[in-house]
Amino acid sequence: MTVPSDRLLITLAPTGAETSKEDCPQLPTTLEELVDTARRCEAAGAAMIHVHIRDEEHKPSLDPGRLAATVEALRDQTNLVVQLSTGGSVHDPLDARLKVLDAEPDSCSLTMGTTNFGDDVFSNPWPFITELYRLSQEREVVPEFELFDLGHVAALRRLLDKLGLPYGGRVHVDLVMGVPGGMPGTADALVAAVAALPEAVTSWSATGIGRSTLAVALASLSKGGHLRVGMEDVLTLAKGVPVEHNEQLVSRVVELGRIAQRTPMTPTEARDLLQVKR
């Protein structure tokens, strides 16, 4: 199957690690809430899910048993491509982040460099990047390269030159824009980042954090890119209007895609695009 070029991959990032349940009770943090969100967002047009999990106190967790149970539940109750975050929270140790692959997801995020992250530092030293990449090749997990900055584009080029192509042979990138400390969430920055991508990149998506969400989504559609949306990245629909459910964010980009004459990709098409194992 070759996925037609008018298809739009929508990746749902429903939870993240930064927002607390206290501040945002509608954030899906339990397994039940996550699966329910995933089902609703799949029905609305999402094809892949980028997953961060929480513990029983709703705090970010990389517990191996919980991760495995989450992958199993999402596989059981949705057809979505399941991508686990290896970024975790800024407080997670590197060894726990490597162990995420033990849960055997279809895909994993792989951030291409250290970045200032608001008042914190999101640490991704080069030896960690290469170890995680080798592990993803060995375990046959398709990485999604997360680029927070233009320097991360150069790091991706270096990684591919040194260690070859990912499992499956496709190179899928997500531009994460508008993080305080990373590249700005603007059309100009998106155009510059896309122009700099290595030739080996076969598909790319973009997401704009907070108020940059719409500017980035529209710029990405204009450049033929795909989209990531969800409450990991944005908590308001407009100034003072909170997101009540992730489905609202998916539905909004489905509508933007319709205007841009892009049809949401099915999970089966996404599997083909990314060449995930199952």
Q: Of 8, 12, 74, 78, whose CA–CA distance to 258 is shortest?
A: 8
Residues engaged in binding ligand KMH (CB under 6 A): 16-18, 85-87, 89-90, 109, 111, 117, 122, 146
Cα-only R_g, the chain = 17
The option from Zn ion, ligand KMH, none interacting with 90 (CB < 5 to 8 A, set by class) reads ligand KMH
Nearer to Zn ion, 83 or 262 (CB): 83
Nearer to Zn ion, 89 or 220 (CB): 89
Question: Three-state SS for 64?
Answer: helix
The CA-based dihedral angle spanning residues 252, 170, 194, 2, taken in that order and rounded to the nearest 10 degrees? -60
> CB 77 → ligand KMH: shortest distance, Å?
22
Query: Does 85 interact with Zn ion (rule: CB under 5 A)?
Result: yes
Q: How far apart are CA 139 and CA 106, in angstroms?
A: 10
First-to-last alpha carbon distance for the chain, in angstroms, is 15
Q: Is there a contact between 197 and 153 (Cβ–Cβ < 8 Å)? A: yes
Assigned token pair, 10 = 């929508």
Nearer to ligand KMH, 14 or 267 (CB): 14
> CB 60 → Zn ion: shortest distance, Å?
10
The option from Zn ion, ligand KMH, none interacting with 117 (CB < 5 to 8 A, set by class) reads ligand KMH
> CB 85 → ligand KMH: shortest distance, Å?
3
Nearer to Zn ion, 7 or 112 (CB): 112
In the complex, the residues that contact Zn ion under the rule CB under 5 A are 85
